[in-house]
């Protein structure tokens, strides 16, 4: 009987670890989304660099913004220095205006 109880511990540990991992992932996603909703900018991109995943960090008026939300598809080199960007607080829509006057809108409500 002691053997049966002992063999359940690894299974219980893996199950508990999996549940904690799922909760932490959901929590992290919610926190990130709320931070992205707080972003508000309107101006030219001073500089931009991309992570290894292709997600951009942009600087607008010397303030750094990390555009990592899954609703935003700003892949490598899509945003460039000198482009204009607009994002209102509590909105997930980013308007990108290229130097050739082409407008690109990303995100959703």
Structurally, the chain folds into a number of domains equal to 1
14 within some domain: no
State which residues form the domain around 80.
39-106
> What 8-state DSSP symbol labels residue 53?
T
In the chain, the percentage of residues whose pLDDT exceeds 70 is 92
Could you report the per-residue pLDDT of 49-67, keeping only the tens digit for each? 988 888 889 999 999 999 8
55 within some domain: yes
Summarize the confidence of residues 26-52 as an average pLDDT.
Answer: 91
* More confidently predicted of 4 and 62: 62
d(CA 62, CA 67): 15
Residues 6+ apart with CB under 8 A from 105: 93, 94, 95, 96
84: confidence class by pLDDT, cuts 50, 70, 90? very high
54 within some domain: yes
Q: Which stretch of DSSP H or E encloses residue 9? A: helix 2-38
13 within some domain: no
């Amino acid at each position: 009987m002691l053997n049966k109880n002992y063999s359940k511990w690894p299974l219980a540990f893996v199950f508990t670890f999996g549940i904690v991992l799922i909760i932490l992932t959901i929590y992290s996603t919610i926190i990130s989304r709320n931070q992205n909703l707080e972003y508000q900018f309107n101006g030219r991109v001073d500089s931009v660099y991309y992570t290894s995943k292709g997600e951009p960090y942009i600087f607008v008026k010397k303030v750094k913004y990390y555009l990592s939300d899954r609703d935003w598809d700003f892949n490598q080199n899509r945003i460039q220095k000198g482009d204009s960007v607009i994002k209102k607080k509590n909105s997930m829509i980013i308007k990108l205006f290229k130097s050739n006057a082409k407008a690109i809108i990303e995100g959703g409500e």
